[in-house]
Amino acid sequence: MVDGGALPPALAAVDRDGALAEAAANAAAGGSELRRASRPTRRGLIGLGAGAAGLGFAGRARAAAGSTTGSQQDIGILNYALSLEYLQASFYSEAERLHSLHGALADQARIVGGHERAHVSAFQKVLGSQAIKRPTFNFQGVTEDPDGFRRTAVAFEDLAVEAYKYQAPRLQSQAFLAAAIAIHSVEARHAAWIRRLAGVLPAATAFDQPLPPRRVEALVASTHFVVAAPDMASHQAPKFTG
Amino acid sequence: MRRKLGRTLALILTPALGVAGLLALVLHPQAPPARSASQWTGLPPPAASGFVVPAPHELAALRGASRWAPVRSSVLARAAPGPRAHPVAAVSTQTPEGTTNILELLGPARVGRTGLWQRVRLAVLPNGTSAWVPRSALGGSVVLDTHLLVDRAHLHMSLFRDGKRVFSAPIGIGQPQSPTPAGDFYVRNVLSRYRSATYGPIAFGTSARSPTLTDWPAGGYVGIHGTNQPNLIPGRISHGCIRLRNADMLRLAALMPVGTPITVQ
């Protein structure tokens, strides 16, 4: 997706601070440079996660891609998928609630949002108490502007397809693999649908490339869509008029 | 008649079935007559799915939905959506209680030459002031379906969720010289575990401000809180705050999220 150092237009649109472009450029140069390039954004994301609900795209991604064995690895991968589903479901839900889209785009958001929320429910159910919590998102107005929504939706759907593609073969349970593939193909349909609405070729290549977690992490971090939850409770004595 | 129709069908179908059978033999000369699909290909049966994805979850239609968003960076709220419009008030990232400042969002964001702008309800005097802030100064928006209605004439409040009443209680409101202001407001924060029996166990801060006690510490904001004088409720007894009996306050706190819009009538 970002191979060769050049970002597709859809990703460039959400790469607000250029971190992804930098990571992509370094990916072409070598893995160690990619790691160095993505370190600041990853650190930022981890910092936010520690202070907030603890999304841990980074931590989950490493667990999924790391050397853990057996069901532990599968749980890591399922939680990693859940964090991506949270991102997508929250994005579509917010757009639908704001009534900022019309026509075919509104239909896409409503139907795909329903799918993403169903994916969230499925992962939460299978993970039970081990499911990570939903983080706090700030989509920074892209859900309120059709152009911004369209570009971001293309990026999110491409991201999901490529992330699933990377993780699915790492699942040790055949049963989880079967479920993951069932979701993966639906994400690919979503990607084709929104690409068509955005005027981008729905199937641009004969073979899709998987996207490793570090690259997913860099992309998500570069958008700054994951934020610390607002603190609206205090133990300070009230000074209201009484 | 029926017999004739049967004969006609037989005349048509018999040769057709014969041709189909012949075609099958030509196309698959060695195909065994009755085997399952997995045996046909020699592949094992598919793995059962580890979990089932349920039917798509449609968003429920909310009656009386409202939105709020936290203030992420200090900003000047302006009379119109644009950086050159007349400034109305400074908006900070924190409330006097040290919590994240939030604003109720009014209507959809508007796309301008300088990006998205959002009309918001401000916690300033005069009560009811609204203005525009750049969307970039705000965090992610939250949608709520709760609404608090304060009825000053009947000294009573009700909380509605998705249009249905889920809570009601008698209240104390401001005395005639320091009335509880009428209008539309929202809940800004919630305070608890403080040491002040006067305010009961829990207090909500609101965006409403006393129009008469303007020199009150921390700006004279109107709160919704418990009391150590429950016998005075219902009544016109406060400096503008809305008081509840402590048991009612605890019930309300369990039902009403921060950001809930308030109508005082």
B172 domain residue, yes or no: yes
**CATH code where residue B238 lies:** 2.40.440.10
| CA distances to A176, A217, A222, B17, B106 from A30, in Å | 32, 17, 20, 65, 49
The Cα B117–Cα A212 span in angstroms is: 37
Say yes or no: B72 and B94 in one domain: yes
Say yes or no: B166 and B135 in one domain: no
Does A178 sit within 8 Å of B193, measured CB to CB?
A: no
B22 domain residue, yes or no: no
β-pair type (B115-121, B110-112): antiparallel
Say yes or no: B168 and B192 in one domain: yes
**CATH code where residue B88 lies:** 2.30.30.40
Say yes or no: B195 and B112 in one domain: no
Residue whose C-alpha is closest to residue A135's, from A61, A56, A53: A53
Which of B110, B143, B176 is the C-terminal boundary of a domain?
Answer: B143
Please indicate, yes or no, whether the overall pTM of this predicted structure exceeds 0.80.
no
Say yes or no: B102 and B163 in one domain: no
Say yes or no: B189 and B82 in one domain: no
Say yes or no: B106 and B182 in one domain: no
Shortest CB distance from A236 goes to which of B100, B139, B194? B194
Q: Which two tokens stand for residue B230?
A: 């429950």
Q: In chain B, how many domains are there?
A: 2
- For B64, phi then psi, to 5°, come to 70, 35
B7 domain residue, yes or no: no
Residue B112 has pLDDT above 70, yes or no: yes
B224 domain residue, yes or no: yes
Say yes or no: B129 and B153 in one domain: no
B67 chain-A contacts, CB cut-off 8 A: 97-98
Which of B99, B114, B143 is the C-terminal boundary of a domain?
Answer: B143
Whether the ω angle into residue B46 lies within 30 degrees of 0, i.e. cis, is no
The Cα B106–Cα B126 span in angstroms is: 17
Lowest mean pLDDT of B22-36, B101-115, B147-161, B247-261, name the range.
Answer: B22-36
Q: Which fold has domain A6-227?
A: Ferritin (1.20.1260)
B123 domain residue, yes or no: yes
ipTM over 0.90: no
B10 domain residue, yes or no: no
Helix (H, G, I), strand (E, B) or coil at A132: coil
Residue B195 has pLDDT above 60, yes or no: yes
Which of B128, B143, B158 is the C-terminal boundary of a domain?
Answer: B143
Shortest CB distance from B198 goes to which of A126, A182, A242? A242
Lowest mean pLDDT of A108-112, A180-184, B52-56, name the range.
Answer: B52-56
Average per-residue pLDDT for chain B: 88
Alpha helices in A31-69 (DSSP H): 31-51, 57-65
- For B6, phi then psi, to 5°, come to -65, -40
Residue B4 has pLDDT above 70, yes or no: no
- For B255, phi then psi, to 5°, come to -110, -25
Tens digit of each residue's pLDDT (9 = 90 or more) over A121-144: 999 999 999 999 999 999 998 999
Residue A188 has pLDDT above 70, yes or no: yes
Tens digit of each residue's pLDDT (9 = 90 or more) over B232-261: 999 999 999 999 999 999 999 999 999 999
Tens digit of each residue's pLDDT (9 = 90 or more) over A4-61: 334 444 444 444 444 344 433 433 333 332 233 223 232 332 222 222 233 344 444 3
What is the helix (H) or strand (E) element at residue B16, kind and residue range?
A: helix B2-27
B244 chain-A contacts, CB cut-off 8 A: none
Residues of chain A with pLDDT > 90, as a percent, come to 60
What are the residues facing A108 on neighbouring strands? none
**Domain interval for residue B96:** 66-143
Q: What sign has the CA pseudo-torsion A172, A173, A178, A182?
A: negative
